Amino acid sequence: MSLFRKFRKIRAVNGGGDEVGTTRSWGSFIQSIIIYIILGAWILSSSFYIVEADEQGVVKRFGKYSRTDKPGIHFKLPWPIEEVQKPKVTQVKRIEIGFRTIDPGPPARYREVPEESLMLTGDLNIVSSEFIVQYRIKNPEEYLFNAKDVEIVLRDAAEAAKRQVVGDKEIDYVLTVGKAEIQEEVRNLLQEIMDSYRVGIYIVAVQLQDVQPPKPVIGAFKDVASAKEDKDKFINQAEAYRNQIIPRAQGEAQKLLNEAGAYKTEKINRAEGEADRFLKVLEESKKAEDVTRKRLYLETMESVLSGMDKFIIDSKNSSSLNLLELRGKNSEEILKELEEIRSK
């Protein structure tokens, strides 16, 4: 019976004067009004909903995807016709590979998961690698409906991507300088896998937490690392010595070359000067050959007889030989004495 029909019946009973019936009818009418008010409030409350700034509203109609609403106030048909899910699309979530956090602390406590962390490198060595994958929702529809458990799918794909990347690297590279490159390669490969699965997530970052050899052989690996550090130290020392010696040797070589060049120039210039002087003397000697010959004879005799005891004998006058002891006299003085002897 509708609320309007009940209201007409109450008026009819009230006109007949039956007070008990009137009271009962009014009670039933008020009860119906309360029920309708509650029903209307429930419909309104289940039909209007608010999507927060960091959310998106995914509406399902009879369990099937209908639409996606952006932040704000929206209307939907009451349950069970339509229902809404509001995943947080800006929240960055994380999963842990190779370990699990037992207590965030402080101090934090972790539990290792060897079946996830142990991996084989490209040079057939085993390495223990723990890392974190950070992600957020990129497509709410795909995130909610294309995978039953996105976290399990992401964990398996992340482990596979990490094994593939580490499997192409040598263990020395993985343990030392390759951390940043490995993180980026794993992130890119994992994003490709997630896009192919269409699970609607975006990989924000892959962060390596701890990369080390397995515990039974970690001591041997430390010895190898120390030996490599010593090797690098010795190489650096040798390079420093080389950089010190080579410039010095090059400087000495350049100095010798400069000195040799100067000596060469000096000798050439001196030889050219001597040649020019000889040519000029030759030219002048040709003008007066007798005078030149006599001068050369006198200069030669002067150089030969200087510092010696000299005796001059006049062979023309054998009866009266005149011996002159000439000491410390030059050629001109000797010739003068000879002329005086001959004139007597």
pTM of the model: 0.55
Residue identified by tokens 């490969």 is 189
Q: 84 forms bridges with which residues in the sheet?
A: 59
Where are the domains positioned within the chain?
3-85, 93-212, 224-287, 290-343
Asked if the peptide bond before residue 106 counts as cis, ω within 30 degrees of 0, the response is yes
Question: Where are the extended beta strands (E) located within 104-156?
Answer: 109-112, 118-120, 126-137
Cα(284)–Cα(139) distance, rounded to whole angstroms?
Answer: 112
Q: Are 59 and 84 in contact (CB under 8 A)?
A: yes
Confidence at residue 121, expressed as pLDDT on a 0 to 100 scale: 86
DSSP string, 216-271: GGHHHHHHHHHHHHHHHHHHHHHHHHHHHHHHHHHHHHHHHHHHHHHHHHHHHHHH
Query: Please, is 58 exposed, middle or buried when counting C-beta atoms within 10 Å of its C-beta (0-12, 13-18, 19+)?
Result: buried
Query: Which ranges constitute the DSSP H helices of the chain?
Result: 3-16, 19-47, 114-117, 140-145, 150-166, 171-175, 179-197, 218-287, 289-305, 331-343
Sort strands 201-212 and 93-97 into parallel, antiparallel or unpaired: unpaired
Cα(338)–Cα(305) distance, rounded to whole angstroms?
Answer: 15
Query: Hey, what are 263's tokens?
Result: 């000596």
Residue identified by tokens 């030149």 is 292
Confidence at residue 189, expressed as pLDDT on a 0 to 100 scale: 95
CA nearest to 144, candidates 202, 48, 60: 60
**CATH classification number, 93-212, choose in 3.30.479.30, 3.40.190.10, 1.10.10.410, 3.40.190.170:** 3.30.479.30
**What Rg value do the Cα atoms of the chain yield, rounded?**
59
> Residues 30, 32, 36, 42: is their CA dihedral positive or negative?
positive
Q: Taking the chain, what is the end-to-end CA distance rounded to the nearest angstrom?
A: 192
Question: Each residue's pLDDT tens digit in the chain (344 positions)?
Answer: 454 454 455 445 454 445 545 555 566 657 767 776 776 666 666 677 888 888 888 888 888 888 888 888 888 877 778 888 888 888 999 999 988 888 887 888 888 888 888 888 888 888 888 899 999 999 999 999 988 899 999 999 999 999 999 988 888 888 878 888 999 999 999 999 999 999 999 999 999 887 877 777 777 777 877 887 888 899 999 999 999 999 999 999 999 999 999 999 999 999 998 888 888 877 877 777 777 777 778 778 777 777 666 655 555 554 443 444 555 555 566 666 666 665 65
CA nearest to 191, candidates 67, 40, 199: 199
Percentages helix, strand, coil for the chain (3-state, rounded to 5) are: 55, 20, 20
